[in-house]
């Protein structure tokens, strides 16, 4: 049982309803995460706006890889299940890549550098070393792209905070996975 009421689309306020309807259109389901946040239409709009805007410059594959990584770091099985599904079904990531993502790596060499850097950010809460910078730059990432990697890591961290706090139930659409170890 989630620790918070999960609204149906009909129960949501007029401000929240179109946002939920849009998720249903794109994903085929209103994920419990968004239905839960809908109790605060302001918070839902804030998250939906950030979600819709980020990822445009980073690319959706690495975006999903980062979400899988932070879910494991922060011990969030909900986010791990959702983003493994979205990464595989919607963005064509292979399952062996997604498995590596959980440990901060990728089968793609450039994405691997991004994931290693993002892993350090998530683990240390942004307290990264100069050597981490050197490594991500050596892989070809510009300053603007590093800002993107950190932003996506922070955004995925944010979704972990909500779903861990409320123990959101994994939607039936997302095959349930469990983090290896609680954070």
Sites of contact with another protein (CB under 8 A) = 3-5, 36-37, 39-40, 42-43, 45-47, 49-50, 53-54, 56-57, 74-76, 121, 124-128, 130, 133, 143-148, 150-151, 153-155, 157-158, 160-165, 182-183
**What is the distance between the alpha carbons of residues 161 and 124, in angstroms, rounded to a whole number?**
16
CB of 96 to another protein, least distance (A): 27
φ, ψ dihedrals at 101, nearest 5°: -55, -35
Closer residue to another protein, CB minimum distance, 89 or 133: 133
Quick one: tokens of 157? 């961290």
- CA–CA dist 152, 64 (Å, integer): 9
106 with 156: CB under 8 angstroms?
Answer: no
- Output DSSP code: residue 154: H
Minimum distance, C-beta of residue 51 to another protein, in the bound complex (Å): 8
Which of 49, 57, 36, 59 minimizes the C-alpha distance to 161? 36
Structure tokens at 111: 């994405």
Nearer to another protein, 7 or 111 (CB): 7
Distance CA 101, CA 163 (A): 20
CA distance 156 to 182: 17
Of 29 and 50, nearer to another protein (C-beta) is 50
Smaller CB separation from another protein, 28 or 143: 143
Choose between 29 and 151: whose C-beta lies nearer to another protein: 151
């Amino acid at each position: 049982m989630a620790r918070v009421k999960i609204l149906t689309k009909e129960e949501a306020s007029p401000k929240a309803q179109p946002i939920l309807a849009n998720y249903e259109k794109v994903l085929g389901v209103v994920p419990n995460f968004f239905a839960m946040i809908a109790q605060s239409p302001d918070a839902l709009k804030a998250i939906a706006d950030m979600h819709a805007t980020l990822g445009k410059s980073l690319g959706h594959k690495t975006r999903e890889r980062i979400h899988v990584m932070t879910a494991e770091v922060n011990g969030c099985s909900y986010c791990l299940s959702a983003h493994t599904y979205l990464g595989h079904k919607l963005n064509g990531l292979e399952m062996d890549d997604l498995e590596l993502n959980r440990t901060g790596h990728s089968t793609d060499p450039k994405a691997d550098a991004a994931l290693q850097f993002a892993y350090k950010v998530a683990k240390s809460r942004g307290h990264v070393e100069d050597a981490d910078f050197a490594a991500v730059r050596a892989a070809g990432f510009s300053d603007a792209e590093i800002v993107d990697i950190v932003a996506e890591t922070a955004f995925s961290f944010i979704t972990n905070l909500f779903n861990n706090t409320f123990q959101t139930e994994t939607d039936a659409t997302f095959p349930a996975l469990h983090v290896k170890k609680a954070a």
